[in-house]
A = this chain, B = another copy of it.
Amino acid sequence: MSDSRPIAIDAMGGDHAPHEIVAGAVHAVRERGLSVVLVGSPRVLYEALADHDATKEVPIVRAEEALAMDEGALASLRRPRSSIAVACHLVRRGDAAAVVSAGSTAGIVATGRLRLKGQQGVLRPAIAVPIPTLPNPTVLIDAGANAEVKPEMLVQFAHLGTAYAELAYGIETPRVGLLTIGSEAEKGNKLVKRAHELLQASPGLRFEGNVEGHDLLTGKVDVITTDGFTGNVALKTMEGAVRYAFTELRAAVTDSRLARLGAAMQRSRIRELRRRLDPEAYGGAVLLGLNGTVVIAHGSSRADGISAACKLAADLSSVGIVSRIGDKIATTHRSHRLW
């Protein structure tokens, strides 16, 4: 199955917008053979494309406004013509297959909910982030869309994450874990204790019980469901700790001449590993549960990260993730009713 519609790229969102975003778009077209459209200020984007001799390869859709990186949910209401809003509209109207943005997460989530609307039966859209465990990534959901949730939502996040793990990584009946502070069922706060009961009684889910913070990287489960507050703290903690370990290691191994020699020998292997653990390299987060696919690239993304995010967006839309999630939620609702 393939989708010939382009990926709509929010060219004005991100720490390195618009230049790195444009460079990423050009890379996606030239190196990955994807079809994309850049959304933003035509004058600025035309000039940036001209630097790549790509004015004829990448179309531009006008959006005169942009959400600043520090603008949150409210700003998206005030700016119906922002680049992220226009990108969502293109998907809504069927003119684009999916959205990619490196803008403020809160702004993307709010705009996505407002412009694309949640899928029928979905209580709340949620952010899924693949954590680069091997052989398959573990999908963490919700990584930050919903700071305040109800136990039922944690069950739905598990369904969204399950659909994502199946479609994006080909995992059959993904194992689901609930993120909390101990392996026993009664460990945690009221929210997770109730969610544990609901998850155990949920048809269509392979619930394996509680997982803890250190399980994010062990590959113990394929999907980790959590509220967006805890998930965001955990994800950023993980990224920070990995970055810290690498930095400290580099300092340790470049501290002596002999060690520097050793380091040089290993450089390429370590670079490989770093790349695997780099949140940009694996394409970014996906906002699931909307009537359209929205890929949220890291705010600090450069061209490579944007191009990877476009690839992810194209792949997800070509396997029809939105309709698959729709089916899944519909089935779940039916089983709940029968049950």
Contact = CB atoms under 8 A, between A and B. Distances in A.
A266 B273 contact: no
A240 interface: yes
Interface in A183-206: 184, 186-190, 192
A265 interface: yes
A144 B241 contact: no
30 contacts: A72-B184, A72-B186, A106-B182, A147-B181, A147-B188, A180-B229, A181-B233, A188-B229, A212-B236, A213-B234, A213-B235, A214-B240, A216-B240, A217-B240, A218-B240, A234-B234, A238-B241, A241-B245, A242-B244, A242-B245, A248-B277, A252-B266, A252-B269, A253-B266, A253-B269, A258-B265, A259-B269, A262-B262, A262-B265, A263-B266
A55 interface: no
Copies of this chain per assembly: 2
Contacts of A253: 266, 269-270
A265 B261 contact: yes
Contact of A237 (B238, B261, B264, B270): B238
A123 interface: no
Given A213-B240, A217-B241, A237-B234, A273 B258 contact: no
Interface of A: 70, 72, 106, 144, 147-148, 179-182, 184, 186-190, 192, 212-218, 228-230, 232-246, 248-249, 252-253, 255-256, 258-259, 261-266, 269-270, 272-273, 277
A74 B214 CA distance: 26
A246 B243 contact: no
A259 B252 contact: no
Given A147-B188, A184-B72, A249-B249, A241 B269 contact: no
A136 to B, nearest CB: 16
B266 A232 contact: no
A306 to B, nearest CB: 22
A216 B240 CA distance: 8
A32 B303 CA distance: 56
A273 B254 CA distance: 13
A248 B181 CA distance: 25
A262 B258 CA distance: 9
Contact of A190 (B148, B179, B187, B262): B148
B273 A249 contact: yes
Contacts of A270: 249, 252-253
B248 A273 contact: yes
A264 B265 CA distance: 12
